[in-house]
Every structure is written in C-alpha cells, then in structure tokens.
Structure 1
Amino acid sequence: MKKYERIDITNQTEYLVIKEAAEEIENAYQPEKAIHTILSLISRQIGLNRGRVLLQEANTGFLKAAYAYGLTQNEIAKSRFAIKEGISGKVMHTGTPIIVPDIDQETDYLCRTVDRSTLPQETVSFLATPIIRNGTVVGVLAVNRLRKSTRSLDKDLSLLKLIAVFISEILAVHNMLERQTQILKEENEQLKALTTSQGSQYGIIGESSSLMNALNQVSRAANAAVTVLLKGESGTGKEKFSRMLHLSSRRQDGPFIAINCAAIPKDLLESELFGHEKGSFTGAGKTKQGQMELANQGTLFLDEIADLDLSLQAKLLRVLEDKSVTRVGGVKPIPVDVRIIVASHKDLNEAVNLGKFRLDLFYRLNVFPIELPPLRDRAGDIRLLARHFLNQANQEYQLSTIFDVGAMEFLEHYDWPGNIRQLENVIKRAVLMADQHRLIKAPLIQSIISDEKAINLGGKASSNRQAEKTPATPQGWPMQQNPFPNTNMAPQSPTLGQGQFANYEGGYNPALNSAQPFQQPNPFGQTGYFEKRDYWKVSDAEVETLKQALEMARGNKTRAALMLNMTPRQFSYRLKKLELEE
C-alpha cells in the first residue's frame, strides 16, 4: 500500500492564501476590490486583522489609509501619519519592516487608527512592512494580530512581505492602465477634433493659428483666377495645400496633375510639360500631349519651380500670358485653360538676384503667395499629427503600438527641421522598432533622430537657426549617453535573435550587456550602426538572417528590410540572388 505524505494544514492554508492573493493581480483595474479581497483573505485565513494599505497623499506627503479591511470609516479617516511618525511612518522612512510584539509596551505605537479599548483585552501585536516598487518605498502594509496565535510573528511577517509584493503589482498595473486610458481619451478627443477642423477633409491636420492663417488664405484664393505661389520649407505639405486649392475650387471636377521640376531631367522636362510632335527629335515616334494640355480645365501643380531651367521659364511665362502652349517641334499654339500653382522651398527673391530665375516670371507667379508654416511654429499640431501617423502606421503594419507619455513630450519639444515628412518617417520607424509591449518611448525616438542628425535636411533656415546644426534632442532634453559610438564592432551573432529587434526598450538591447547602448547589428558588414549602404556583397551566410527577419516581419518585406537597415530594393535583391523568393 502506497504511503502518502501527511499535509500540514497550516502550510496548505498559507498556500491557498498566496494563490488566491496572486490571482487578484488580474483585477488590478479595480484596485479597491482586489486589495480588499487580499486583506480579507489574510484576516479570515491567517488572523492578520484590520489590514490597511497606507499611501502618500500627493499634496501633503502624509501617509493615509487608502485601502483597508475591518476598519470603520472613522478609523480609516484617523489613519494618517507624517513620515517618521508612529510605526507606519518609521517603516515608510526606513523601508524596513517592524514587528511590535506587544503594542502596550511600545511607546511609538500611537493607537491612532484603532483605540486600544476597541481591541481585545489581551496581548495584541502589530506588523508593518514597506510596499516597494522599483527600489522605492511607495507605501506601507500594516496589520494587527493576537499574540497568542500559534504562528510565529516572523512567519507572519514573511507572508506579509509577499502580500506587499502583490499589492505593489496591483498598484503599478492600475497606474499604468489609468495612464494609458487617459492617453486613449486624449487621442479620441483629438481625432474627433480632426474630423471637424478646417482642412481635415483634404488631409491637412492641425489647429494652430499659423496653420489656420494659411488655410484661410487658401480659401480666399480657391476660386480667384490667380496663380498661387506656395512658399515654405521642405516637408511642410505643399502638395496637400495645392490639392486643397484644386478640390475647393470650381475646377474640382477637372484633372489635377503634379510635377516635381527637380525630379525630371531638363532635357525631358520640356517634352513632359509642353508635349511634342511626331519626329520632332530622335525617339519621338508619335505625337504626345504635354501635362499642360492634359491639365486643361483643371489644375497643374509645379513643385520646386526654382529648379526650372531658364529656357523653360520663358515658355512657362508664355503660357501664363497667352493661355496657350506650343509643343516641341510644333508651330501651332494650342489654347489651354489651366490653373497653375507653383511651390518652392527655395527663396525665389534670392534666385532672381542671382540671375537663376526670371524677374518677369517671378512677378507672374507671385500674385498670391501663401507662406506654409514650419512644424516648429505650429504649436499643438505635433501631437495631432503624431497620433495621425501612428494610426496610419499601425494600420499599415497591422500593429497596435502606442506612445509613452515621455515620447509625446519629446516629439513636441523637438525642432523638426524636416517638418511633417520627417515626423512621419520617424514615427513609422518607431512603430516597427517599438519594444515588446508595443510602447514607443522617448529614447527610441531620440536614437532614430540621432541616426539622421548628419543629414542636411535642406529646409530654409531661420535667422537664428541652421538646419544642419539641429541637435538630435530638444532643448533641455536629457541626451542619452553616447547613443551611437563611432566605433565599428562585429555583430554579436550572425543571426537575428528575437530580442535584437522586437524586444529592446528605450534604445537598449537586453540581449546584450545592459551597460552597452543599443546598436543594431549589421550582419553584412562593419559599416557602423543604423547606416544604410548602397551595396553589400551577397553571401550564402545571409540566408538564415534574411529568413529570420522575414519571419519576424510576418512576411512583410519592407518591414524586414528596415530591421536589417536595408532598402526594400536591397532586401528583395538578396532574396532573389539567394533563391529565397517563393
């Protein structure tokens, strides 16, 4: 016959108390109920009575009973102590548990919460232990018990310390939930505001006075038969404003065509704008309409007009004056009814002075200039834009990332020399690189911006600031110590461990030595971290790395490429060369 070990009832009771108390952590969203249940458990099962959790008042710093079991409302109201006052105050100050075997023999025991006459007329003990979170004392857990209990005071204190850990977890989770709930409420309010704000239907987001001024000017110019010049730094949303001008005008049913004059070689731009006749040059096998003709009855947006060649400036001037175009190789003017909107981040006045832009064309274009404000001058709009780009990125990558409070403060204090385009880029990268809790923190954003700090973003610098000297942190923001050392180190491993990308937090990789700043390994070379190279020699040794990155990105090649600091084109090329494409 098998011999069974005898179960110690006392230990079994303690086990059940610990088990049920631990289960209450999942009810942290209702801390009153969870902590009351735990205090009730240790009273009924262990005999640790009149339990109370004392926390500091935010305005006075005094300890006050925030949660209790077995105390009247009057006793709870009286349970208030200065730091160092009474047993509870001393525990809060020293962070050390205290056992009072007999309260009648202890002068520091004040009998403030419960009158001595209310307690049993026998020896009563008092136990108090600190509630600690991340090395800081945040409160005190205290109980009374009868001295004649069969359990030792030391054993009860050990249990009380464990209960204090559970209560610490409940308080921490509750605070986090409250914080995130507040963030979500703010997001909802901001998103509701966006739906009613001027310009939102055209994808222009913001409520700042400088933006409203620009939007009001657009509204005034919408149906006026004038050429509009959009002025502003790169990345301020000039094309969105040009679309708003088109869609809010009487030409909204006509075509809208946008051309970047800096993106097309000047030898091809003339044909692109004005069209050409068959045989007008080598390769002109058929007649082609230019964008001017195709935009008839609509709007033509010419971005980076300052980069237009002088010879083409003369032809554009003719279009504005005569309302007609002549194709390359043609002789017959073709009437066009097109509204022209131009934009430039360069100073056209300076271009005229340097002889790079025609003065007569400048006068034709500068009829209704609209200055688009840089992001740093749009107080309050960064928060709205950041939420908008976060939602877009979450939908695109099928994630549920959120901002930490510190991250949003960092975004709002940074100068953003690259304006809206830079903000969108940084947020997309942050969404992909957020920690395992899908939380974007300030150090991560700081490290992404530091990666780009060597780029001259080309924005028109104000008199008190040079874009290329923009710091990687907002003024007054604490800079992470040496986040990107210039030393080139070999990667820790030729493969990508799960922690190397998905699980680092705040710019640090827990898979590496915690004292080292986070450095994303480049498995294909020693070129410095977060630095894309135009070419990496393809090697069979990359196969596992590519496979793991693709698996971590759930098959999304763009995301996998970002993980490896490649462009999507580089990543796809390697898949093809190594025959990894299905």
Structure 2
Amino acid sequence: MIKPDYPTERLELQALYQISQLIGSALDIKKTLSEVLQILHETLRMERATLVLQEEGGEHLSIAASYGLSKEEERRGIYRLGEGVIGRIFQSAYPFVVPDIHSEPLFLNRTGARANLPKGEISFIGVPVMLPEAVVGVLSVDRLFGPEISFEEDIRFLTVVAMLIAQFLRLHKTVSLKQQVLVEENLLLKKELRSRYNQHNIIGQCKRIQDVYNYIDKVAPSRATALLLGESGTGKELVARAIHQASPRANKPFIKINCAALPENLLESELLGHEKGAFTGAATLKKGRFELADGGTIFLDEVGELPLALQAKLLRVLQEQMFERLGGTQTITVNVRVIAATNRSLEECVEQGTFRADLFYRLNVVPVVLPPLRDRREDIPLLLDHFLQESNRMNAREVRLSSSVVQLLCGYTWPGNVRELQNLIERLVIMADRDTIVSRELPSYITAEPEAESLSAPSCRLVAPSPEGMGLADEPLPTIAAHKSLKDMEKTEVEGALRRHGWVQARAARELGLTQRQMGYRIKKYGIAPPDFSSCPWDTIKK
C-alpha cells in the first residue's frame, strides 16, 4: 500500500531542496543565512527565526542572522553561555521546546521582538547547530505549523536544517582559512617585492642612473602617464615596476603586456577583453588587461607597435578611463595608471603616419630616456658582480671572473645593454669548466674589440666586489689581431653561429647571448644570407 503524500512533507522537502541549493553555491555567510531563514518563512509560514552563533572570543552568543527582527532587535540578542533558553540549548546540545513563552521563566525575550504581539500562545523551538567537534550555535523559530503538527515533527525538520547550516559554516570556515593563507602569502610576496625593489632595484651609481632614480621618486606619487624611452635591454620594465612599487598603487595589480608580441586581431581582446560569442572561439567572457589592472598600473611595452585602429581606443581609455569589451555594449570604467615604453622614436612614427599625434602627446607627459650600458661603463663592474652572484646561486656554482675578463667586458660596447650582459654571464656560468672564467672563454666578438677601445675606459674601476662575487685573478689580456676590424670579426662570428645552427636565427642568437631582434639587425647590417640550397633536396637540409 502506497503511503499518501502529506502537504507538510511536501513543504518540508521543498524547503530543504531550496536551502541545499542556496548553501551549495553561496559565499556571503550573513546573506546566505538570512536567505535560509527567509525560505523557512515563505515555504512554511514561519513568523520569526534566529541563528545564534558563538562569538570569536567564546564568552557570548550573538545573533548572526534573523528573519522578522529589526536591526535594533538583532543587536539586543546577546546571551552569556548557559543563559536562558538559548544558552541552555547551546550548553546541553539538546533541542528545547517552549509551548508558551509567556509562562516560561527561562525565556528571556532579550530581543523584545514579541513584546507588542497580541496575547495568546506563542510556541518557541530551538535546536543546536553542531559540528563533529562541538556545538557552534542555536537555530530557533516560532512554531512552524498549526496544532495538528506535533513538536516532534518541528524538531525533526529543524534538526535537518541545522545540519545543513552546520555544513555551510564548516565550508565557510575552510574557505576563509584558505583565503587568509592566500592574503598572507600575497602580503609576504609584496613585502619581498618592496625589499627587492628597494632603491628601485636598479644597479648603478653613475650620474645618469641617479637621474633615473630622481625621475622615479618624482613621478611615482602622481597619476601622470609615464613614457620610458631607450634601447632594448636598458631596463624599461624594471623602471616601470619601480614606479609602481613606489606609488600609492603598490598594493594593487601591476599588469604588463607587450604590444609587439601579439597579433593585431588578438591585441584588442587582450587589452580590452571580449564578451562571450564576440567572435569565433570566444566561448566565455574574458576581462582585458585594463580591467584586471583596475586600481593599479598597466605597463604597455613596445607601445609604438600598436596598430592605428587600436591607438584610437587606447586614447579614449587614457582620457576618459572608459571602454567597452569587444562585442559588448556596457561601458566599463576603470582607474588605471598607464606606463608606456618603446625603443622607437615616436616623433618619427608620427611624421610617418604610423602613430597618432594625439596619442603621442597624451603619452609623452613625463618622458625619460634610459641610458644604454655603453654610456654608463662605471656601473658595469657592479652589474657583473650582481649577475654573477645570481647565476651562481641559481645554478649552484661558485664561478669567478678573472681580471682580464672584467676589463674586456668593461670595454665592450654592449649593443644588447643590460639584458645582453645578464645573458652572457648566465651562459658563462653554465658552460664554465673551472672555477675561474678566463678571456679565451669569452665569445670572439668581445675579445676582438679594438685594444684602444677595450682598454680606454678609465672610469671602469671595480667597486668593492664581494668575496663570493667576481673573485678577480691575474691573467694576461689576449693579443688582438690587428689585421681584422671589429666589423669583420663580428660578421664572421654571427655567420659562424648561423652556420652551426643550420641558419636558425633563434638558436644562433642564444649562443651569442643576443636577442632575436639584435640578431636580425646584425644579419641585415652585414648583408648575411644563407647559401643557395635550391640544388639539394630539402630533407638533406633538415638533417
């Protein structure tokens, strides 16, 4: 025989289903708990309910959520452990029923919520909210159903609701602990960044670098757009980070994007984001870099490579701090500080029509030119010591530089600037067969520098390198071949590297410690071209 459905059972199941759906997808604890109590009211015609939880100190119980109570009544709902009906339920971990609150001395009516109700029987039921380790609170309601429903039915149903609430509280506690760990890790990382970027983490003491320090100190507190100019490898991203770390936005995001590294059809999506379905492959909504950098700083590297169509949209973001995602109509407002960088002459780009004049003037508010390494030779020993220590630490080595190597490196022109120096030191440390690097281990394009140039840098004196740093050793300087010019030697070295790597520019560049752009420049400069392979099979070339 099939047991007929009772309306009360259907209402209970409906309420439990709604509560479980709500708890499974919620993060805001107070809002969620209040909505749970509201479900009880809407589904089961309950008038008042409270969820009382133990305070953090553990000495009092207070109302965490309620339905049918005003804010003032909620504030009055504070109980000592063991006080009144609420306190007894918490201490005993057993449900408690008050058939008539007017005749129960333990019922304190601390909130005063029922003081103005007409005389009559008002039933009150409370059940403990329990986790496996302890009672954490009390769920209480006025009687849910009419006299035809027993108190046992009410208690059974409320106990199930209390179990769901307990699981939600456990989930919330777990998420809060993880979030706290993440916040602490974030603070530690930011502290480490600030310590790393102390004195802006720019190695150097020469006059031109001191001018850069002064520029950072003056520009950082402002909201002005900064434009960093200089050759590739001079440390434009480092200066951008230093400006951000020294600004009031230091605790907000620092977002960087290389405008030359992405194709034109993806660049707008990366900068401004896109809506779901904006184009083929846009399966989900994506926030752009400007939106992610809200409140912080965005660094636009190689800004001179921006296509003209996107330059107009960037100008609007700079002027109005507003934009629309690709495929969207909603206007998004952000508060972003822009730092742009380029190794191109934007004035020439404006004259050639490849860069908007109005955007150039908007970016060129407080420009600074970062000096190339050849113009700050007195800083080279400091840089050598710094990068040598870093490479030794990362590769678990204890390699040192001989005095002749330091002299040669101080006299080299460094077309790739600090980045080239860093890459060369790392390569030397990795490839070193002994503890001291000597001049014959340097690339030939460095040792082939004319003697007058390599040794005519009186300002390149060593500045107290640390004992574990370069550790200079005496070694005679190599004899420079007088019959070959630097240009011929460099061309020979570049061509030889290309031959050794099957004319793959990226591999040859890595061997020489150059970037692909620098390699391409030298290939064009010297007119180097691969041999004609048209007469031989391609599979032979690949081998």
Question: TM-score if structure 2 supplies the norm length?
Answer: 0.48
- In our comparison, the structure showing a higher alpha carbon Rg is 2
TM-score (norm 1): 0.45
Which structure has greater helix proportion? 2
